[in-house]
Amino acid sequence: MHISDPKFGLSFELFPPRSLEASFKMWSTLEGLVGLDPSFVSVTYGAGGTTRDLSKSAVGVIADHYGLNVAGHLTCVGATRTETLQVAQDYAAAGAKQIVALRGDAPNGATNFEAHPDGFSGSIELIEALAAQNQFNIRVAAYPHVHPDSANADHDIVMLHSKFKAGADSAITQFFFEAEDFLRFRDRAEKAGIKNKIVPGILPVENWAKTKVFSQRCGAQTPDWLDKAFSNTKSKAEHDLLSTAVCTELCDDLINEGVEDLHFYTLNDARLTSDVCRALGRSVTPPVAAKVA
């Protein structure tokens, strides 16, 4: 493995805490990653808008206390158009100039996405409405493996092209474990005329058993060689060492193929993400102390 030039862009995804303990964990994660100089931090949005207020609160604290660029996630699930766009304005008021615009998953207990009678029909309409406001950098999702609701891989490319035509600025992919999966997807997107930046989404594996279950739900492929490798680990230390090595090699391969930015799904745990970034040569700078209200 050839370690690449460390001058690659970084961004991190966090999810809003639902308890006091989770809150401490999220802020500890941010403290552990802010010294890596991320270009932005994104905050997720629970299924059916279940973490709407928590997401807005986290966005505000990150923007105000840490001075970071923040991207708030926004979905179409369980809300009217007016309610959804109000969340976007609340994000803007809290200091977020970027939005990750998503259709969103079905709420708990439902098997399929159903648009609210007065809501957006999906991500395309949401992107168009956000773009019309002309105040956000709009990021969208892309899928190197076939999305569970897509007929085939070609449909995913068509949808991504439509998102950019609707006004999106860039895309972040679902996670994957082999560089070729992303590179083939990037080639197909370019062949289809897509010129916007597509940023690979990276998932350092914290728990392989849970990762396999989640991958099955969202359509991400888990290669047999990786399953065997994790199955052969004898301890948590071995598991984490393997995770760091595999993820570092994946990222290094991507950077050597011209990828300029990496987006990490941190699962609110800084350890593996930080280890990977440092293994790639990214130095850690002392974080600026958070402002005290």
Find the helix packing angle between 224-231 and 208-218, rounded to 10°: 160
Residue 290 main-chain phi, psi, to 5 deg? -65, 145
SS3 percent helix, strand, coil of the chain, rounded to 5, is 45, 15, 40
Select which of 13, 83, 190, 260 is catalytic: 13
Amino acid (1-letter code) at residue 87: V
Is 13 part of the annotated catalytic residue set? Answer: yes
Residue 42 main-chain phi, psi, to 5 deg? -105, 150
Number of Cβ within 10 Å of residue 152's Cβ equals 10
* 12-21 core/surface letters (b: 16 or more CB in 10 A; e: else): bbbbbbeeee
As given in the structure block, the two tokens for residue 96 are 């977020």
Rounded alpha-carbon distances, angstroms, from residue 162 to 102, 126, 130, 190, 214: 13, 12, 15, 14, 27
> H/E element holding 197?
strand 197-202
Is residue 57 left, alpha or beta, with left meaning phi > 0 and alpha meaning psi from -120 to 50? alpha
* Residues forming the active site: 13
